[in-house]
Structures are given as structure tokens and as C-alpha cells.
Amino acid sequence: MTTAYLEHFTRLRTDSSRSRWPATTYHRAPHKPLLLLAVMDLIAEGTVSSNLIEITPDLGELFTLYWARVMPPDQRGNLALPFFHLKSDGFWHLIPQPGKKAIVEGSDQIKSVHRLRELVIGARLDEGLYQLLRNKSSREQLRALLIEKYFSPELHSGLMEQGIINLEAYSYSQNLLEQARKQKDSETLSIGQAVRLAARDQGFRRAVVTAYDHRCAICGVRMLTADGHTVVDAAHIKPWSVSFNDNPRNGMALCKLCHWSFDEGMISVSAKYIVVTSPQLSINHNIPGHIITFASRKIIGPKEEKLWPDLDALSWHRQYVFRKR
């Protein structure tokens, strides 16, 4: 069975063009192998626990991380293309939304993730392939084949490393969330799991952004692109350089403007989780716009009370970062 899918994976139908695709991808579109690598990661971490591949922010993020390993920053990947076109390779089966089967089967191309979501619930793999991907040994054999077949040798180590980082980051994020849920108020916030820097950063971001459901704690904005890019950052309350602490309670999900304002001490959060604003917002010809309106509003925290910001960390921010005058 593994041999059959090894053969399938060596014959993915991909666009080839010397003008569009670099020599490092053998002048072939990298979308399909990168999507399959992302799917393997979701299966490895247990996020995909049944034979249904859905179009989620997690899938979009992993696809984007792999894309950044092989393509220049000015060339953006489109998850919709491989998700739709993999159906031509025989082992990937789109599951239409109710009443949309004829449209899906009659479509030659779907370029938008938004449109794809309107038309399909997701995709399922051949059951035999799904079972192979659940097995670590056969999954890694198929992963290595994809990387060796569709990418030049100088990209191999980076792509393999990205898979390892993705799994470490997921494990780290789950550990952070679990420790935060168990923590008593009197206990230290620090969590000392040894993990590489890239996985630590990715895992902390994933834990915080997930806890806040991609919504800014200060202004409330929640925006995701169709392929899973989110408007919010995972902001440390007490910086890592000071606290060495990635507990999600030492973090908040903040949009880019609120993140900058928080780090610069232009806004902070009180012991009652109320937004406080600095007098400096209104000096030096500043035009703070809507930031000034957040004063005296309660932050928008996680649904889980255990994951709300730590009061000691907020107190540190008010004492050492917030511009009181």
C-alpha cells in the first residue's frame, strides 16, 4: 500500500513554468507538496483526528510557514489552488456542501479560499493513505519523498526542520495552555520547557491567539484572511527578556496598533481589567484616533477565566512601562 502512494506522490500534477517558478522547485508550482506537508503536520499533532481535512486557520498557517521556506516574500501562496486541484491526483476527494455537488464537479478552477469554503466542507483522503499518514514511520517516508521530489537539495533541511518546529510548537502551545489552566494564583508564572527559539515563539503565539480566538483584547477587532492570516499578535505583558515566561497568562492577543501602544506604554490594563490610557496620547501634536476611546473599557479576555491576564504581570507593566504622565 505504501508503494502505491509513493508512486502517487511522485506524479502530482503541478504547473510547470520557468518564468513563474524558481529552479529550487524545479520550475514547478510548490502548492500541492506544501499543502500535503501541512496536512501531515496536523495529523501528526492530532488536530486532524478523522479522515476530514477542513480549511482552518491552522492549516492556512502551516501552509504559509512552508511557503515562506521556499518562495520569495513578494510571492504569496494561495491555499485554495492545491486544496481544489489535488482532486485530480486520485487520492484527494472534495466533500461538497449540501446542494453544491454539481457546482464543485463542474468547476475547472477555484481561486478563492472564501469561495472554496462556500462550496466544500473539506476533503477526505483515500482511507488507505489516511491510515498510512497516521503511522509515524510511513508518514515520514512520504514526507521525505515529497521534499526530495519537488524541491532542490538546498531546501531539504529547511523543510524538514519546519516540520519538526511545527510539531514542537504545537506541543509547546498545548503544554502552556494546560499549565495555565492548572495554575493557582499564588504560583509562579514561569514554565521552563526546553524548546528551540522558533518553536517557542510559534507555540506561544498559537497558545495566546487561540485562547483569545484571534480577537484583540483592547479594541476587539477580529479579522482573519481566508487562508488563516490573523490581525492579532501574541504580546508578552512582561517581556520574555525580563520574565523568561511564556505562560499564556503573561500574554494578550493584540492587533498591531494596540500591540505597539501597549509596548510603548501608551495604554495599559488595570487590576480590574480596565483599559487605562496615557496622558501622552494627547501631547506633542499626537492624533491618537480611536485609541483614546478605549479608556475605561474592560478588555475582551479569553472565554476560559483561567487564561485571563495575570494581575502581577499587569501590575509590572503599569509600574515599569506605562507612561503615567
Q: Does residue 78 share a domain with residue 181?
A: no
Query: What integer pLDDT is reported at residue 229 of this predicted model?
Result: 81
Closest C-alpha among 248, 247, 249, 214 to residue 233? 214
Asked, for residue 157, whether it belongs to a domain, the answer is: no
For 130-169, the DSSP string reads HHHHHSHHHHHHHHHHHHHHHS-HHHHHHHHHHHHHHHHH
Question: Mind listing the pLDDT tens digit for each residue in 192-204?
Answer: 556 788 999 999 9
What interhelical angle do 197-211 and 153-182 show, nearest 10? Answer: 50
What are 227-279's pLDDT values in tens digits? 678 899 999 999 998 988 899 999 999 999 999 999 999 999 999 999 999 99
End-to-end CA distance of the chain: 70
The b/e string for 175-192 (b: 16+ C-beta within 10 A; e otherwise) is: bbbebbeebeeeeebebe
Angle, CA of 21, 227 and 115, to the nearest 5°:
100
131 shares a domain with 8: yes
For the chain, how many structural domains are there in total?
2
In angstroms, rounded to a whole number, what is the distance separating the alpha carbons of residues 191 and 173? 11
pLDDT at 284: 79
Instruction: Output the pLDDT for position 156.
Output: 98
Residue at 158 is within a domain: no
| 252, 132: one domain | no
Boundary residue ending a domain (90, 124, 151)? 151
Note whether residue 226 is domain-resident. yes
Classify residue 187: in a domain, yes or no: yes
Same domain for 127 and 229? no
Query: Whole-prediction pTM value?
Result: 0.87
Q: Give me the residues of the chain with pLDDT under 70, please.
A: 1, 184-194, 226-227
What residues make up the domain containing 117?
2-151
One domain for residues 64 and 123: yes
171 and 111 co-located in one domain:
no
Contacts of 286 (CB under 8 A, 6+ apart): 280
Q: Which residues pair with 268 in a beta bridge?
A: 276
Sign of CA dihedral 135, 136, 137, 142: positive
Judge if 94 and 211 occupy the same domain. Answer: no
Looking at 88, 117, 151, the residue that finishes a domain is: 151
Is there a single domain that holds both residue 108 and residue 208?
A: no
The answer on 257 and 213 residing in a single domain is: yes
Residue 192 resides in a domain: yes
* Helix pair angle (153-182, 31-45), 10° resolution: 30
Query: What is the model's pLDDT at position 191?
Result: 54
In the prediction, which pLDDT does 190 show? 53
Same domain, 170 and 139: no
Looking at the fold, whether 189 and 138 belong to one and the same domain comes out as no
In a domain, 201, yes or no: yes
Indicate if 122 and 234 belong to the same structural domain.
no
Per-residue pLDDT, 226: 66
Among 116, 151, 186, give the residue marking a domain's end: 151
The reported pLDDT for the residue numbered 34 is 98
Cβ neighbours for 3, distance < 8 A, ≥ 6 positions apart: none
- What integer pLDDT is reported at residue 43 of this predicted model? 97
Q: Which residue, 62, 94, 103, 77, is CA-closest to 21?
A: 77
* Residue 160 within a domain: no
User: Is residue 124 situated within a structural domain?
Assistant: yes
